[in-house]
Amino acid sequence: MNPSSATPSRTDTGIAGDTGPGAADYRRSHVGAALAAAYHDDFTARLPGRYWATVEQPLLADLLAEASSRPLDQMHHLDVASGSGRVLAWLQPRTARSTAIDISDDMLAHARAAVPAAAFVVGDASTMRFGQPFDLVTAFRFFLNAGPELRADVLDRIGECLAPGGLLVANIHAQPWSTLGLWRRAKRRLGHPADSVLTAADFGQLLADHGFEVVAERTYGYLPLTRRIGPGRLADAFCAADRRLNGLLPSRNPAACCWLVAARRIALGTGAGSGA
């Protein structure tokens, strides 16, 4: 069996994974209709939504094309911490079957409205069990925000849910030396609460500690993404500039805000990594 917990390691940046105050209570961070509506609004009516559509979706498609050993339309997909369903909405029409799990029924209400063909589970991903394995598990904006124990527990449950050869696709969205990471660290040094930061190396080590091997990766996001920008020309210009930077700068760049990774469960002994 794989370890049930892991301690973030220090990296060549000299900074270990740094969890913010929200990580201690992440399970309740988006529970409630008002919080769910605000989050949904960010990804439908503001710059983060435009960024998801024009920058992140093409990167995700490219990553899946590189990492997948079978066509997407043959895969059974699980979206962990699905939230209001933006990742689910993109993958459900492209996969054989999609299931979403989130602890917040308020968040999933938005996902149900957007993706009625998916299956939905209101529950805690750290204790999830399914009767059939999944070929693809996604977890976006989860591992950075969750505390160390929750990260470890969910990784173990994902490992149990994956079919042999299945993929975990996840991201972190605030490396310490990115514009967002530097802002969060500065706030912390000034005594203000700030959200978490996490390096690609720390997250890669966490994956390895729980029996996963990285098979494809992308780094992206060099400009400070803000929800204060609505849709329109400014949002389009922001996304176009960030796409150009993503193409010019090297991969595994610590100055990038985000790391998108595909990882495969390492087969151990007789069938580790198979679905429960």
64-77 residue pLDDT tens: 999 999 999 999 99
Q: What is the C-alpha separation between 174 and 12, in angstroms, rounded?
A: 17
* Cα dihedral 113, 119, 124, 127 in deg (nearest 10): 180
Query: pLDDT tens-digit profile of 249-259?
Result: 987 899 999 99
HSE, side-chain direction, 13 A CA sphere, residue 191:
0
Torsional class of 194: left (φ above 0), alpha (ψ -120 to 50), beta (otherwise)? beta
Out of 3.80.30.20, 3.40.50.150, 1.20.1540.10, 1.25.40.10, the CATH code matching 21-265 is: 3.40.50.150
Q: CB of 170 within 8 A of CB of 138? A: yes
Q: CB of 172 within 8 A of CB of 203? A: yes
In the structure, what pLDDT confidence band is assigned to residue 270 with cuts at 50, 70 and 90? very low
CB neighbour list of residue 119: distance below 8 Å, 6 or more residues apart = 97, 98, 99, 100
pLDDT of residue 82: 97
pTM: 0.86
